[in-house]
Structure 1
Amino acid sequence: MKKIFKLTDEKKHEDRVLEAVKHDIRKYVKREKKKKLDDAKMTYWDFDCKVGATPDTAEVIAYDELIKALDAVKATGTTECYVEILAKVVAKPLKEIDEEEVSAE
């Protein structure tokens, strides 16, 4: 998803508009996570995110920091916010088996 959200609306309070943007983002991520993976045991969905006032000034951030970044953009007083979220398949890290646990059994 690459989208420019308006952070102001004449009929709504600014905080409610921001909450609607956050809701749209969460809904998109939830929809993407529901998509079937080829090997669900070995892979999972991860997201590359960018947030900023414009596409040129957008900064790369982790998905966990996306909502805080939206609040920071809103705090600057801009009327629009650019959000880019790209889903990607990532291999799960392998768990290391301790040799001591194996030999103890």
Structure 2
Amino acid sequence: MKKTFPLDIEGKHRDRVLDATKHEIRKYIKRQLRVPLPEGVDYWDWDCRFGSSADTAVVAHYAAITKLIDEIAATGAPSFYIELVAKNGVRSAKPAAPAQD
């Protein structure tokens, strides 16, 4: 998903538009998580970018998206850009802990 979400829409309350955009993002994530995993892949990982526009978007952590949306809405920005791209994730083994005597 690469999309610019407007927050100021004529005839709609800004808070309702904000809730609708969060719902659309969550719905996209749930839909992507239902896609079968390719062979040798453990989970879906995400490449995320977020900003007030596509040009100013910076890399963001997937778990912080909702907080970033709330922060940009609090500043009064008319829109925001989000880029969520699913990628393959492979779990790595934890290093073995040294044996304690």
User: TM-score range with shorter-chain normalisation?
Assistant: 0.7 to 0.9
* Structure 2 Cα separation of the partners of residues 70 and 85 of structure 1: 14
Partner of 1:31: 31
**1:24-79 deviations in Å (ceiling 9; x for gaps):** 10000000011001237x51001111111111111211110000001111122111
Number of residue pairs the alignment of both structures matches: 99
What SS does the corresponding residue of 2:11 show, helix, strand or coil? coil
> Which structure has the larger Rg?
1
**Which is helix-richer, 1 or 2?**
1
TM-fit CA distance, 1:6: 0.7
Mapping of residues 10-89 of structure 1, within 5 Å: 10-39=10-39, 42-89=41-88
CA RMSD of aligned residues (A): 1.8
TM-fit CA distance, 1:97: 6.8
TM-fit CA distance, 1:11: 1.9
* Structure 1 Cα separation of the partners of residues 42 and 4 of structure 2: 30
Same amino acid, percent of matched pairs = 43
- With the length of structure 2 as denominator, give the TM-score of the two structures: 0.87
| Consecutive unaligned residues in structure 2, runs of 5 or more | none
| Consecutive unaligned residues in structure 1, runs of 5 or more | 101-105
